[in-house]
Amino acid sequence: MAKKKIGNCALCPSENVELLQSHIIPKAIYKRTKIFENSRFRSFYNPHEIFQDGEKKTMLCHDCEEFFSWYETKFSNLFLDKYLANLTERLPEIKEDIDFYIFTVAWRVLYDDLYVCNSFSDNSERDYLIEYEQKLRRFLYQRYLEKQPGKKKDGVNVEIPNLEGKCFGEIIAEIEKCIDSTEPEDISEIKNYVYTLKELGFSGAVETIFDFMIWGYSFYTSGMKYVVLTGYNGLLLATVYHRSRNILITDDLNLLRKSGNSEAVIKEELINQVNELMKEMKASDSERQSKLNQDGLREKIEKRCENQTKLR
């Protein structure tokens, strides 16, 4: 039996509690992406690394895991299954619960990037990505409290400012931040976008490759946007933080256009990301094929799927 992991929940104020193995991208997604019942998910860049039923990290307590699970079920039943049943039709309506589900996954991916993978550690944009994570976390936790009226409303909502060594202006800014942390979180600058690869102009081999992949990461753009992007089943789900307080000073008209938040600009950014991913995959193909040939791994995978009925 695996040893219990004790620590602090990444979402709520619970400390020294058992942390569960939480899926970054929900298990329900992996279940609907499997080709065969006994399929194993593997790292694209290192096929020797097995994720079994999906990538998991110890980050949430039991109550927060259950809270997220409710929205995962809503997404699966009201959106994903309908989409998979009618791939030629328009995407199902994205209602409030579906929108919230996308926020939960975006936060998990961003949290993992920042605090587990320690991404952007040598980058000046990390502070804004941390701000993004905190906004999402407070927003999610406030919804959690609404659903759990008996829970004590403290901890993550109130951030005690550290005023030591700060000048007067910095002290005022820290106090204002503390006051803001007790108010409902404003996520008016954060929005979800959902597209199929086909809607973005991709077809054929690109659709086939991405249909069997599950992935997610965060990035920032030259147009002052901070994005969490996930993909699975031919879908791209982007949660975009357009930080309007950033000021872009440039005479580059194309850069000014990219700093806008129109849907056309968002689509262009996502198309660029898919193209970059395709370049990365192509560049790593030789190394990946070599790893598949090590220790008879390719044959083992093929044998595992012999005489199995396809699920999709």
pLDDT tens digits, residue range 227-285?
A: 999 999 999 999 999 987 766 566 665 655 566 678 999 999 999 999 999 999 999 99
Burial class (CB in 10 A: 0-12, 13-18, 19+), 252: exposed
For residue 183, the model assigns a pLDDT of 78
For residue 2, the model assigns a pLDDT of 60
Helices (H) and strands (E) in the chain, counts: 11, 9
Task: Give the end-to-end CA distance of the chain in Å, rounded to a whole number.
Answer: 33
pLDDT tens digits, residue range 31-89?
A: 999 888 888 889 988 999 988 778 899 999 999 999 999 999 999 999 999 999 998 88
For residue 258, the model assigns a pLDDT of 63
For residues 55-89, b (16+ Cβ closer than 10 Å) or e, as one string?
bebebbbeebbebbbebbebbbebbbeebeeeeee
Rounded-to-integer distance, Cα 100 and Cα 85, Å: 23
Evaluate whether 58 touches 5 at the Cβ level (below 8 Å): yes
Please report which helix (H) or strand (E) contains residue 83, including its range.
helix 81-85
pLDDT tens digits, residue range 117-158?
A: 999 988 889 999 999 999 999 999 999 999 886 665 444 444
> What Rg do the C-alpha atoms of the chain give, in angstroms?
21
For residue 251, the model assigns a pLDDT of 60
Instruction: Give the predicted TM-score (pTM) of the model.
Output: 0.86
Q: Between β-strands 50-52 and 215-220, what pairing exists: parallel, antiparallel or unpaired?
A: unpaired
Q: Between β-strands 56-60 and 190-196, what pairing exists: parallel, antiparallel or unpaired?
A: unpaired
For residue 59, the model assigns a pLDDT of 95
Q: How confident is the model at residue 219 (pLDDT cuts 50, 70, 90)?
A: very high
Q: Which of 230, 229, 305, 214 is nearest to 30 (CA)?
A: 214
Ranking 29-43, 72-86, 171-185, 190-204 by mean pLDDT, the lowest is 171-185
CA distances from 116 to 36, 237, 301 (A): 31, 22, 30
Q: Give the list of residues 6+ apart from residue 102 with CB closer than 8 angstroms, or none.
A: 75, 192, 194, 237, 239
Rounded-to-integer distance, Cα 304 and Cα 141, Å: 42
